[in-house]
Amino acid sequence: MPQGMERASRALRKAWHWLREVTGDAAYENYLRHCAANESRANSSALKKMTRTEFYSDSLRRKYSTINRCC
């Protein structure tokens, strides 16, 4: 691949990664990465990883179960 195409491809990948992080689309993948990083801890073996559907439901519950008002 020519160097210019490689640079453009790398820039597009970075932009796509940034967009997914900003919009929250990568939240489940971040959760899985967090779980994998903490699996070596003693108490984490008792925790069950959530499925994508469970994660989405839990995030909605956390988002709308608190009081959220400006005044």
Residue-wise pLDDT for 55-68, tens only, equals 999 999 998 898 87
Query: What's the alpha-carbon Rg for the chain, to the nearest Å?
Result: 18
- Asked which of 18-22, 23-27, 58-62, 66-70 is least confident by mean pLDDT, the reply is 66-70
| CA atoms in the 13 A half-sphere facing the CB of 43 | 0
The model carries a pTM of 0.71
Per-residue pLDDT at 58:
95
Q: Is the pLDDT of residue 44 over 60?
A: no
